[in-house]
Structure 1
Amino acid sequence: MNTNAADRAFPWNHIVGFVLSIALTLLALWMVQAHVIGFTALVSLILVLAALQIVVQLFLFMHIRDSPGPRYHIVALALGLLFTFAIVAGSIWIMTFGGNQAY
Protein backbone atom coordinates (compact mmCIF):
# COMPACT_ATOMS: atom_id res chain seq x y z
CA MET A 1 0.00 0.00 0.00
CA ASN A 2 1.51 3.27 -1.15
CA THR A 3 0.38 6.15 1.09
CA ASN A 4 2.40 9.23 1.80
CA ALA A 5 2.31 11.66 4.71
CA ALA A 6 0.14 14.16 2.81
CA ASP A 7 -2.63 11.57 2.47
CA ARG A 8 -2.63 10.89 6.21
CA ALA A 9 -2.31 14.53 7.35
CA PHE A 10 -5.13 16.33 9.09
CA PRO A 11 -7.37 18.03 6.49
CA TRP A 12 -6.79 21.65 7.52
CA ASN A 13 -7.87 22.94 4.10
CA HIS A 14 -11.25 21.29 4.55
CA ILE A 15 -11.71 22.65 8.07
CA VAL A 16 -10.76 26.20 7.03
CA GLY A 17 -12.99 25.95 3.95
CA PHE A 18 -15.92 24.70 6.01
CA VAL A 19 -15.55 27.50 8.58
CA LEU A 20 -15.23 30.15 5.84
CA SER A 21 -18.27 28.77 4.01
CA ILE A 22 -20.38 28.82 7.17
CA ALA A 23 -19.16 32.34 8.04
CA LEU A 24 -19.96 33.71 4.57
CA THR A 25 -23.40 32.11 4.63
CA LEU A 26 -24.22 33.39 8.12
CA LEU A 27 -22.99 36.88 7.20
CA ALA A 28 -25.32 36.99 4.19
CA LEU A 29 -28.21 35.68 6.29
CA TRP A 30 -27.60 38.24 9.03
CA MET A 31 -27.42 41.12 6.53
CA VAL A 32 -30.76 40.13 5.00
CA GLN A 33 -32.56 39.63 8.29
CA ALA A 34 -31.16 42.74 9.98
CA HIS A 35 -31.81 45.04 6.99
CA VAL A 36 -28.39 46.64 7.48
CA ILE A 37 -28.26 48.34 4.06
CA GLY A 38 -30.57 49.18 1.17
CA PHE A 39 -31.90 46.60 -1.26
CA THR A 40 -29.59 47.32 -4.21
CA ALA A 41 -26.47 47.43 -2.08
CA LEU A 42 -27.59 44.29 -0.27
CA VAL A 43 -28.04 42.34 -3.48
CA SER A 44 -24.65 43.54 -4.72
CA LEU A 45 -22.96 42.56 -1.48
CA ILE A 46 -24.61 39.13 -1.48
CA LEU A 47 -23.32 38.58 -5.03
CA VAL A 48 -19.82 39.46 -3.82
CA LEU A 49 -20.18 37.03 -0.93
CA ALA A 50 -21.37 34.36 -3.38
CA ALA A 51 -18.29 34.93 -5.54
CA LEU A 52 -16.09 34.56 -2.45
CA GLN A 53 -17.95 31.35 -1.62
CA ILE A 54 -17.15 30.03 -5.11
CA VAL A 55 -13.46 30.83 -4.64
CA VAL A 56 -13.43 29.07 -1.26
CA GLN A 57 -15.12 26.01 -2.76
CA LEU A 58 -12.76 25.83 -5.73
CA PHE A 59 -9.52 26.25 -3.87
CA LEU A 60 -10.17 24.55 -0.54
CA PHE A 61 -12.57 21.72 -1.45
CA MET A 62 -12.12 21.02 -5.15
CA HIS A 63 -8.31 21.48 -5.08
CA ILE A 64 -8.20 23.37 -8.34
CA ARG A 65 -4.52 24.27 -7.88
CA ASP A 66 -3.28 20.87 -6.70
CA SER A 67 -3.21 18.77 -9.86
CA PRO A 68 0.03 18.57 -11.84
CA GLY A 69 0.10 18.65 -15.60
CA PRO A 70 -2.02 20.55 -18.13
CA ARG A 71 -4.71 22.82 -16.81
CA TYR A 72 -7.59 21.52 -18.91
CA HIS A 73 -9.96 21.71 -15.96
CA ILE A 74 -9.35 25.47 -15.68
CA VAL A 75 -10.22 25.92 -19.36
CA ALA A 76 -13.38 23.84 -18.84
CA LEU A 77 -14.27 25.95 -15.79
CA ALA A 78 -13.78 29.17 -17.77
CA LEU A 79 -15.98 27.84 -20.56
CA GLY A 80 -18.66 26.91 -18.01
CA LEU A 81 -18.50 30.41 -16.54
CA LEU A 82 -18.85 31.89 -20.03
CA PHE A 83 -21.93 29.75 -20.71
CA THR A 84 -23.43 30.65 -17.32
CA PHE A 85 -22.85 34.35 -17.93
CA ALA A 86 -24.40 34.12 -21.41
CA ILE A 87 -27.49 32.32 -20.10
CA VAL A 88 -28.00 34.71 -17.17
CA ALA A 89 -27.32 37.85 -19.26
CA GLY A 90 -29.60 36.59 -22.04
CA SER A 91 -32.37 35.80 -19.58
CA ILE A 92 -32.14 39.24 -18.01
CA TRP A 93 -32.10 40.82 -21.50
CA ILE A 94 -35.25 38.95 -22.54
CA MET A 95 -37.06 39.67 -19.27
CA THR A 96 -36.17 43.35 -19.51
CA PHE A 97 -36.70 44.19 -23.16
CA GLY A 98 -38.73 41.42 -24.76
CA GLY A 99 -41.83 41.18 -22.64
CA ASN A 100 -44.97 42.21 -24.51
CA GLN A 101 -44.53 41.48 -28.21
CA ALA A 102 -47.10 39.21 -29.81
CA TYR A 103 -45.62 37.15 -32.63
Structure 2
Amino acid sequence: MSQTHTTTQEGESHGSAASYVIGFVLAVILTVASFATVLSKAFSYWTALVVLSILAVVQIVVHLVFFLHMNTSSKQRWILMTFAVTVAMVMIVVVGSLFVLWNSQAHMMVR
Protein backbone atom coordinates (compact mmCIF):
# COMPACT_ATOMS: atom_id res chain seq x y z
CA MET A 1 0.00 0.00 0.00
CA SER A 2 2.07 2.89 -1.26
CA GLN A 3 -0.67 5.49 -0.99
CA THR A 4 -1.74 6.84 2.37
CA HIS A 5 -4.74 8.66 0.98
CA THR A 6 -7.01 7.26 -1.69
CA THR A 7 -9.71 8.91 -3.75
CA THR A 8 -12.39 7.62 -6.07
CA GLN A 9 -12.86 8.64 -9.67
CA GLU A 10 -15.26 11.33 -8.45
CA GLY A 11 -12.56 12.75 -6.17
CA GLU A 12 -14.16 11.64 -2.91
CA SER A 13 -11.79 10.90 -0.07
CA HIS A 14 -11.55 7.43 1.42
CA GLY A 15 -9.49 8.45 4.40
CA SER A 16 -5.93 7.87 5.44
CA ALA A 17 -4.31 5.23 7.56
CA ALA A 18 -4.15 7.73 10.42
CA SER A 19 -7.91 8.31 10.33
CA TYR A 20 -8.55 4.56 10.40
CA VAL A 21 -6.21 4.16 13.37
CA ILE A 22 -7.91 7.04 15.21
CA GLY A 23 -11.33 5.49 14.52
CA PHE A 24 -10.15 2.08 15.65
CA VAL A 25 -8.65 3.45 18.88
CA LEU A 26 -11.84 5.40 19.65
CA ALA A 27 -13.97 2.32 18.95
CA VAL A 28 -11.82 0.19 21.27
CA ILE A 29 -11.95 2.84 24.02
CA LEU A 30 -15.74 3.08 23.75
CA THR A 31 -16.08 -0.72 23.81
CA VAL A 32 -13.86 -1.02 26.89
CA ALA A 33 -15.84 1.79 28.55
CA SER A 34 -19.07 -0.11 27.90
CA PHE A 35 -17.69 -3.32 29.40
CA ALA A 36 -16.28 -1.39 32.37
CA THR A 37 -19.67 0.24 32.97
CA VAL A 38 -21.36 -3.14 33.23
CA LEU A 39 -18.64 -5.09 35.02
CA SER A 40 -17.88 -2.45 37.66
CA LYS A 41 -21.51 -2.42 38.88
CA ALA A 42 -20.88 1.16 40.02
CA PHE A 43 -24.14 2.43 38.55
CA SER A 44 -27.75 1.61 39.20
CA TYR A 45 -29.67 -0.25 36.51
CA TRP A 46 -31.21 2.85 34.90
CA THR A 47 -28.02 4.91 35.12
CA ALA A 48 -26.05 2.10 33.49
CA LEU A 49 -28.68 1.86 30.77
CA VAL A 50 -28.38 5.58 30.03
CA VAL A 51 -24.56 5.44 30.05
CA LEU A 52 -24.55 2.44 27.70
CA SER A 53 -27.02 4.14 25.38
CA ILE A 54 -24.85 7.25 25.19
CA LEU A 55 -21.72 5.18 24.57
CA ALA A 56 -23.55 3.25 21.82
CA VAL A 57 -24.64 6.43 20.04
CA VAL A 58 -21.12 7.86 20.26
CA GLN A 59 -19.71 4.62 18.86
CA ILE A 60 -22.17 4.72 15.96
CA VAL A 61 -21.04 8.27 15.16
CA VAL A 62 -17.37 7.19 15.31
CA HIS A 63 -18.05 4.36 12.86
CA LEU A 64 -20.01 6.60 10.51
CA VAL A 65 -17.35 9.31 10.47
CA PHE A 66 -14.10 7.34 10.53
CA PHE A 67 -15.04 4.15 8.64
CA LEU A 68 -17.98 5.09 6.40
CA HIS A 69 -16.63 8.64 5.82
CA MET A 70 -20.00 10.33 6.21
CA ASN A 71 -19.81 14.09 6.54
CA THR A 72 -21.85 17.18 5.75
CA SER A 73 -20.12 18.09 2.49
CA SER A 74 -22.33 18.98 -0.46
CA LYS A 75 -21.58 15.69 -2.25
CA GLN A 76 -22.53 13.66 0.84
CA ARG A 77 -25.71 15.57 1.69
CA TRP A 78 -28.05 13.14 -0.12
CA ILE A 79 -26.37 10.15 1.48
CA LEU A 80 -26.71 11.80 4.89
CA MET A 81 -30.38 12.60 4.30
CA THR A 82 -31.05 9.03 3.14
CA PHE A 83 -29.34 7.72 6.25
CA ALA A 84 -31.43 10.04 8.47
CA VAL A 85 -34.68 8.84 6.85
CA THR A 86 -33.58 5.22 7.29
CA VAL A 87 -32.84 5.81 10.98
CA ALA A 88 -36.22 7.50 11.42
CA MET A 89 -38.03 4.59 9.76
CA VAL A 90 -36.21 2.03 11.90
CA MET A 91 -37.04 4.02 15.04
CA ILE A 92 -40.71 4.16 14.04
CA VAL A 93 -40.79 0.39 13.53
CA VAL A 94 -38.94 -0.38 16.80
CA VAL A 95 -40.88 2.08 18.97
CA GLY A 96 -44.17 1.08 17.33
CA SER A 97 -43.46 -2.61 17.90
CA LEU A 98 -42.57 -2.00 21.54
CA PHE A 99 -45.76 0.02 22.02
CA VAL A 100 -47.92 -2.68 20.44
CA LEU A 101 -46.30 -5.41 22.55
CA TRP A 102 -46.62 -3.38 25.77
CA ASN A 103 -50.22 -2.44 24.99
CA SER A 104 -51.14 -6.05 24.14
CA GLN A 105 -49.56 -7.32 27.33
CA ALA A 106 -51.30 -4.69 29.42
CA HIS A 107 -54.74 -5.43 27.96
CA MET A 108 -54.47 -9.22 27.88
CA MET A 109 -53.58 -9.68 31.54
CA VAL A 110 -56.29 -11.41 33.54
CA ARG A 111 -57.61 -9.00 36.12
Show the counterpart of 2:10: none
Change (3 A) 1:14 1:89: same
RMSD value, Cα: 2.4
Structure 1: where are the runs of 5+ without partners?
Answer: none
Change (3 A) 1:70 1:62: closer
TM-score (norm 1): 0.82
The structure that is strand-richer by fraction is: 2
Show the counterpart of 2:45: 39
- Percent identity, aligned pairs only, is 22
Change (3 A) 1:97 1:10: closer
Aligned pair count? 98
Counterparts of 1:70 and 1:44, CA distance in 2: 31
Write the letter of the residue equivalent to 2:101: M
Counterparts of 1:5 and 1:68, CA distance in 2: 24
Change (3 A) 1:42 1:75: same
Could you say which structure has the greater relative contact order, defined with CA pairs below 8 angstroms and 6 or more residues apart?
1
TM-score (norm 2): 0.77
The 5 Å alignment of 1:34-73 reads 34-65=40-71, 69=75, 71-73=77-79
Counterparts of 2:26 and 2:3, CA distance in 1: 28
Does 2:104 match 1:98? yes
